Structure 1
Amino acid sequence: MPFHTTTSSPPANLFYTDSGPQSSPAIVLVHGWACDSHDWSHQIPYLLSLSLRVIALDLRGHGRSSCPPSGYDLYTQASDIHSLLTHLSPDPVILVGHSMGSVISSVLTVQHPELVKALVLVHPIYSGAPSAMPAVAGRMRENPSDAPALTAKFFEQVMYTPQTPVFLKTWHVRRVLGCAPEMLVGCITGLVDVFGSIMGTTEECKAFMRKRTVPRLAVCTLPAAPGWEEELGVREGVDEVHRLTEGTFSHIVEHEKFNAILGDWLRKQELLP
């Protein structure tokens, strides 16, 4: 069965899929808050066509993974991925993180550089998370039972553009309303708790992110994000920063454009088999 019980505390039973040639370089896909690994459905077939080993997981409390009462801080979630990768024993991986997953992936890269050989950041939020997030987090903590409805409203207000397909919004609302309140509250609290140290525009945040020394591809959707990534340093021929314009889920809405950017960069970095 494609489940792994993590060594984190408290442990979680993570759902994952592991597809493609086991001898090929592994690319690991980490979704965002209130999402799951289905969000990579436009990328998985494409990456398999490149003969990569593709590992896609559901974070704790998301999708088909178990929902422990706690452990939704970014460090514990990074520890979950570390546990899964240790279990699967791949060589150093290409790590891809979307939204909240971009922060979790950054934490894992800093804490366990031996596990990561390249980092792809999709809609990285550490440089410019929505200003409404702390207030929403406060309301969720006061009334956890309201968390699913508040999350659905938050998605509608900040994550879409006029071109976002109606089917995608419908999918998200129905999924969010079925999420466990403890996960929604725990994750947004975990994000707010690292404002100023990992997320934000402080020098402390920048110093943390500069500890990620592996080749880096950032595909940004927030207006300020490309400039922030460039402030961190962009090594010619190694790191790249791109901009997509269709909101948080541009990798779905603009999947052909996103896949082309990702594939071209992987080829340039000689990361394909």
Structure 2
Amino acid sequence: MPFFQPPNQENVSLFYTDDGARASTPLLLLHGYLCDSHDWSAQIPALLSAGHRVLALDLRGHGRSTTPPPPYSPHIFAADILALLSHLSIPSVVLIAHSMSTITASIVAVEHPHLVRALVLVHPIYAITGPALSALLEEMRADAARAPELAARFFAAGMYTPRTPAWVQTWNRRRALGADPEVVVGCMAGLVALEGMVTGRGEAARAYMRRRRAPRLVVSGVDTAMEWEREVGWGEGDEVREVREGAFLHVVEGDVVNGYIIEWLKKIL
């Protein structure tokens, strides 16, 4: 069955898929805010064809997973990832994460380093959170019923480039509008709560991210994000690849991103 329940959480059922060669180091794909594992549809076949075992998870409150009461935070999502790895008896994994999940993946890498063989961070946002998210959260909390509408507006305002297909924008808008308001607000609250400690560009966040020991591939088109990766510092095997196609660059430029990921994995696995 492609569902599992984290221990002692009867109201939580998480959807995942698990395909490919069992002998290889598994890759676990993690989606972004108000998205789901379908966002990796351009990557999954390519990674399977390259010989990898590929898992893709719908985070709680997203996709086909259930929507339990809050909280919805990167640390809660990290606990669900640990539960999935335990459920499948996986000793270590490559985390391939998009947007919001780049924070969760980094938390797992820092706090459970033995579990993370490598990190692939697509459009990482941990360096570019800040006042805008806090303001959006306050607006959402003032009228929670409008939170999905506000999230859809947030996507439309800054996630795309002129090359982002209309179907991608429509898909994201409809998912946001159909999301549970508690999930919409809860995820945003979880992100804002980490500002200055795990996320942002201050010294505490910088020190936290320097605790990541796994090699990392960063794929981004945001100048401040790429500059910050260099400021944090590079280890053996770390690389940055530039793709300037908005937040959903892995959808818009799927073949390019797939090539970067597959070639990098050959080097470090």
Q: Which whole-Å CA distance do the structure 2 matches of 1:258 and 1:266 have between them?
A: 12
Q: Which whole-Å CA distance do the structure 1 matches of 2:21 and 2:225 have between them?
A: 35
Which residue does 2:229 correspond to in 1?
229
Q: Which whole-Å CA distance do the structure 2 matches of 1:185 and 1:102 have between them?
A: 19
Cα 1:100/1:8, change in 2 over 3 Å? farther
Shift of 1:39: 0.1
> Would you say 1:248 and 2:263 are equivalent positions?
no
Worse-superposed segment, 218-227 or 202-211:
218-227
Shift of 1:90: 1.7
8 Å contact kept, 2:117–2:215: yes
Shift of 1:147: 0.8
TM-score (norm: length of structure 1): 0.95
Aligned pairs (5 A) from 1:65-214: 65-129=65-129, 131-214=131-214
8 Å contact kept, 2:109–2:116: yes
Which residue does 1:239 correspond to in 2?
238
8 Å contact kept, 1:124–1:225: yes
**Partner deviation per Cα, 1:7-56 (whole Å, 9 max, x = no partner):** 37686211000001222210000000000000000000000001111000
**Partner deviation per Cα, 1:84-110 (whole Å, 9 max, x = no partner):** 111011231111110000001111111
Q: Which whole-Å CA distance do the structure 1 matches of 2:10 and 2:204 have between them?
A: 29
> Would you say 1:258 and 2:257 are equivalent positions?
yes
8 Å contact kept, 1:8–1:79: no
Which residue does 2:27 correspond to in 1?
27
Cα 1:6/1:71, change in 2 over 3 Å? farther
Shift of 1:258: 0.6
- The code of the aligned residue for 2:144 comes to P
**Partner deviation per Cα, 1:197-243 (whole Å, 9 max, x = no partner):** 1111101001110111011111112221111001111135x100111
Shift of 1:133: 1.4
8 Å contact kept, 1:8–1:83: no
Q: 4+ residue stretches of structure 1 with deviation over 3 A? A: 8-11
**Partner deviation per Cα, 1:73-129 (whole Å, 9 max, x = no partner):** 111110011101110112311111100000011111111111111011110001112
Structure 1: 5+ residue stretches without partners: none
Shift of 1:130: 6.2
- Secondary structure at the aligned position of 2:223 is classed as coil
- The root-mean-square deviation of aligned C-alpha atoms, in Å, is 1.3
8 Å contact kept, 2:130–2:195: no
Cα 1:87/1:52, change in 2 over 3 Å? same
Which residue does 1:42 correspond to in 2?
42
Q: Which whole-Å CA distance do the structure 2 matches of 1:8 and 1:192 have between them?
A: 27
**What is the aligned length?**
269
Worse-superposed segment, 128-137 or 204-213:
128-137
Q: Which whole-Å CA distance do the structure 1 matches of 2:243 and 2:12 have between them?
A: 34
